[in-house]
Chain A
Amino acid sequence: MTQTLDRSTRVTELAAAADRIRHHVLTMGEVQGQGYVGQGLGFADVLAVVYKDLAHYRPEDPEWAGRDRVLLSMGHYAIALYAALAEAGILGTQELDTYGSDDSRLPMSAMSTYTPGMEISGGSLGHGLGIAVGMALGLRFQANPARIINLMSDGELDEGSTWEAAMAAAHHGLGNLICVVDMNGLQADGPTRGVLRIEPVEAKWEAFGWRTVRVDGNDIAALTAAFDSVPADDTRPAVVVCDTRIGRGVPFLEGREKAHFMRIDEHEWALAHAALHDAAEKEH
């Protein structure tokens, strides 16, 4: 928790954490030569803010009862969460080299039974928010002040189960619940706007009774301001809608056409690491 620091120091430190998360994503992607690398790079800034600025947890004791629960509803972002868990000190960076391999604790799709710090098994989409509602009710009932931070993708807005949970969260006044939507605009079959139109997103959440803020999910300063604007509340859950760019931080991947499940050629990994390094240097 760095909230006592002045804002510019805080933002600088979070940006450095986001760069390390991107670095870890590339390291893992290289093990398999493919994967949800674009999402990992695009969501790294949000994860840095969530794990380094927002969530309470004890890295040495991932099961600590007082921890804020961070749910990865979109289990295919596991590569991103492993990177964040390494940055958070819950996983060792060495273990990232086993990503997606036989007998690894880090399967390509998130599994709570495999990985310390992974709260739920994802992969089938539109489950996280319902579980989050149950956790929020349960913790509140037990007078546990911990919060639930449900991370989900824009594609999950297609699933009816998401909206059932959204309605319940507002009905039960779950102010201990924050939902984070990664709006990267891309689904399995192509751009979200072509698969199923989901806009206007903020208006939908607001109509369901949520406090809603929309932010550039690759702008650390804006992200910290957005999360600061939705403190725990007694009456309403909050959603932070984050517009992100697939492949963020590695320019030649940002514009790649087949970006949902990215294949990256052998020779490109070193280029990707170098591009990430250059971009980070330029910013700091």
Chain B
Amino acid sequence: MTTAPEAPATPRLKTSAMIASIAEPGQRTAPAPFGHALSRLAAENPAIVGLSADLAKYTDMHIFAKNHPERFFQMGMAEALMLGAAAGMAETGLIPFASTYSVFATRRAYDFLCLDIAEPNLNVNVVGALPGLTTGYGPSHQATEDLAMLRAMPNLTIVDPCDSIDIEQAVPQLAATDGPTYLRLLRGHVPTVLDEYDYTFQLGKAAELRTGRDVSFISTGLMTMRALAAADRLAADGIDVAVTHVPTIKPLDHAAIARAAAGGRLVVTLENHTIIGGLADAVATSLIYNTAGTTTRSVPAIQRIGLPDEFLGTGALPTLHERYGLSIDAIVRSVHNWLG
């Protein structure tokens, strides 16, 4: 039943394999920044423990498991159990980091995250890999609405890091925060970008990474590195773009948002998430309902770059990022369109 071998005349079709790199060709990366940061923190703090729901190898938790095997707890492919157990561990005084894919931590185990962890305000740190559109594997693994779900959950701190620097610096601060946190994890070889800017991750703070007269990008997560690259491209076209990075989605840095939206510039939000209920909505409501730190009375024109309100397709990640407007090229095109 074997077929005759054929000459490979056509190039290999693009793959929708689950784990795809978000790094651009040639970009500097750091391996498993979360796993290494958690291991270093655990060496200093004996209360740190790690849990996995059969995805340690795919959430960089395996690094911690290897370095601190006595403090790693494999709960099996049982996400509700994992979050319940993490709550129980926190009740005994430990500081758990519980990792799985974002879809399973949020969609699947929402009630356990909400009632077991958030309501008693426990220091449980939930780490969700493959946030937003970071896999072409299809809606089963694409957590495109996790921010929308979690922003409504009281007590929960939500962090959407840009790169390896953000992740490494966030981990100790999440552990030191006396309440639950959710980290949108970039895993594997994670780009290193923010060391080229005068930037330090501070929980709850946004940071202006570059200034600009014409356009103000307000971005979170991996979209900040795309925003920075797009700003460089637009500068070559004579368009001066500011970039404000918002790594903490909740609580939101309202003063920084107000500053980023001031000056009569076109304001553009960029996020790796559906345009419903994520950064775009958070920025818009911040500008309407919060006037702290600004004298602006009118809300500026805001455009949104984010994922559409639909279940996304499967395919190669670069193909999908281009299709849904998250690629650097697509950002540049959008800005040109909006500026006319």
Contact = CB atoms under 8 A, between A and B. Distances in A.
Interface of A: 19-20, 23, 27, 31-35, 75, 98, 100-104, 107-109, 111, 114, 121-126, 155-156, 158-160, 187-189, 194-196, 261, 270, 273-274, 276-277, 280
Contacts of B58: 188
A33 B8 CA distance: 13
A108 B137 contact: yes
Given A31-B13, A32-B15, A188-B54, A121 B77 contact: no
Nearest to B56: A189
Contacts of A261: 18
16 contacts: A34-B15, A75-B140, A98-B13, A101-B15, A102-B319, A109-B140, A114-B314, A123-B137, A124-B140, A124-B141, A125-B77, A187-B54, A189-B54, A196-B77, A274-B2, A277-B1
B57 A107 contact: no
A126 B80 CA distance: 12
A159 B78 contact: yes
B269 interface: no
Nearest to B77: A158
Contacts of B12: 31-33
Q: Which of B58, B78, B139 has the most CB of A within 10 A?
A: B78
A72 to B, nearest CB: 12
B244 interface: no
A114 B62 CA distance: 34
B314 A121 contact: no
A102 B78 contact: no
Nearest to A188: B54
A4 B201 CA distance: 71
Contacts of A33: 12, 15
B66 interface: no
Interface string B65-95: 0000000001111101100000000000000
Nearest to A101: B13
Contact of B138 (A111, A125, A159, A273): A111
Contacts of A100: 13, 15-17
B17 A108 contact: yes
